[in-house]
Amino acid sequence: MICALGDTLEGIVDAARHKKIRLAHLPFTLASLPYSKPYYLIQRDERDSLDNRSEAYFYEILFSAVSRALLNAGVGSEESADMHVFFGSTSMDVPVFEGNHRRTLTSVSGMFLHASNGYGKIASSIAEKFDIRGSCYSFATACTSSANALLYAAAMIEEGHIERALVVGYDLYNNLGFYGFEALKSLAALEYRPFDRRREGLILGEACGAVVLEGKRRKVDDFTFLGGANLCDTYSVTSHDEEGSAVAETMRRALRQAGICRDDIDAVKAHATGTENNDRTECAAMRATFGHSIPPVTCVKPFIGHTVGACGVSELILFTESIKAGFIPSTPGFLEADTDLNVTPLTENMDVGKGIFMLNYFGFGGNCTTLILSNKDATG
């Protein structure tokens, strides 16, 4: 994974353990606004400067993350040929056109309309680069995009349709998203504080994460996908019903699909965007699902930002790699409980070994996705 915390799993986990968070502050130059807002930018070196970005940069990040995932999973070239690609993103190739725009006189919208090869182009590029011969599936369900990519990759393996999948979540900085969320008045001015009484909104981030899914364990400490669910909350295109009924139903269906009950869950990775509506809805849904015994909850967005469509995979990697290292990361920035929410996330890292975990993701367009993972039968 490549994100604001770094580009190696060890570095990312170490940064999460010690809360070494790096925030950039980006201006709204194009709109001539006299202020900036925080953003979790990939900051490896000079290459990552926003001024240096173009199509080549977009694919360098993508191929680098995929290459590391394949290497880390020990997938050889013969095995990768048989893979199928599941890709999830909110912005898709918009960063490519915004980046290329700096080098031409053509307008961004003109380039977008005349040169776009469609949502499937990025997944096809992965397949071509790594000589993957299988099918490509690109998911565009806003902030649940790569979570849904995972859900379907697992279902196809479970049903015996495919043997092996590469699941990628990728969203790179783009003005469309940054300016768009500012227009919605959703961006926090200073700090990320999901579930906190003084939360003030979300902070966007960029990430590219890739995982390999297969019907058998490749490493002793690999996680198992137990089940998941996706439903649509038709309350509003921008927000969920504050009673949390559709969100709670998604959690319940995921538990049922995984063949477990609520008491089996050892910890929850919340979606926790830090916006008023999301946090209110999600906490109401957790109370409805778990009653008075909500398991330990963590919110990982304050580490890498809200990586929108990529968050399904990027937060899963951050969460599971931390557990492999023996801890569930606490929620940085959380200071004061909100009595209306009645959910207090972890404020200290929690030691953990084996368990069953719920990961929640929600998005615009009422999309709700819950995944259930376990490392209980892992021998590592």
Partner 1 sequence: MSEMYIHSAATFTAEGHTGTNYLKEEIRRYTKENFRRVNRFILLTLLGARQCIAAHTLDGDTAIYLTTEHGILGETADVLDEIYAISSLPKPFGFINTMSNTAAFYLAQNLGIRGRNITMSSQQLSFERGLELLKVDFAGGVERSALIGGVDEASLSQKTMEDHADRGWRMMNGSGWFYVKRERDGACGAFTAIRSFGSGTSCMRWISEKERSSVDVVSFGALIVDEEAASLRKILKPAAEFDYLSDYGYCGSATACGISMFVKLCPGKTLLHINRDQRGNYAVVEVEKF
Q: Is 180 in the site for partner 1 (CB under 8 A)?
A: yes
Which pair of tokens denotes residue 118? 């469609």
Q: Which residue has the tokens 């995984």?
A: 258
Nearer to partner 1, 97 or 319 (CB): 97
Cα 117 to Cα 123: distance, rounded to the nearest angstrom: 11
Among residues 9, 50, 140, 294, the one that binds partner 1 under rule CB under 8 A:
140
- With beta carbons less than 8 A apart as the criterion, state whether 83 and 165 touch: yes
Query: Whats the size of the chain, residue-wise?
Result: 380
Give the angle subtended at the CA of 288 by the CAs of 283 and 291, to the nearest 5°. 100
Among residues 4, 136, 207, 286, the one that binds partner 1 under rule CB under 8 A:
136
- With beta carbons less than 8 A apart as the criterion, state whether 226 and 373 touch: yes
**Whole-number minimum distance, CB 351 to partner 1, in Å?**
36
Burial 310-322 (b: 16+ CB within 10 A, else e): bbbbbbbbbbbbb
Question: What character string, x for contact with partner 1 (CB under 8 A) and - otherwise, covers 77-116?
Answer: -------------x-x-x--xx--x-----xxxx-xxxxx
Among residues 10, 158, 263, 348, the one that binds partner 1 under rule CB under 8 A:
158
Among residues 18, 30, 71, 293, the one that binds partner 1 under rule CB under 8 A:
30
Span of 54-62, 137-145, 298-306, 311-319 interacting with partner 1 by CB under 8 A = 137-145
Residue 68: closest CA among 19, 112, 9, 121: 9
Span of 205-213, 234-242, 293-301, 371-379 interacting with partner 1 by CB under 8 A = 234-242
Nearer to partner 1, 63 or 179 (CB): 179
- With beta carbons less than 8 A apart as the criterion, state whether 378 and 251 touch: no
Residue 200: helix, strand or coil by DSSP? coil
Cα 97 to Cα 9: distance, rounded to the nearest angstrom: 30
Nearer to partner 1, 86 or 319 (CB): 86
Binding site for partner 1 (CB under 8 A): 28, 30-33, 90, 92, 94, 97-98, 101, 107-110, 112-121, 123-124, 127-128, 133-142, 148, 152, 155-156, 158-159, 161, 175-176, 179-184, 230-234, 237-238, 246, 257, 363-367
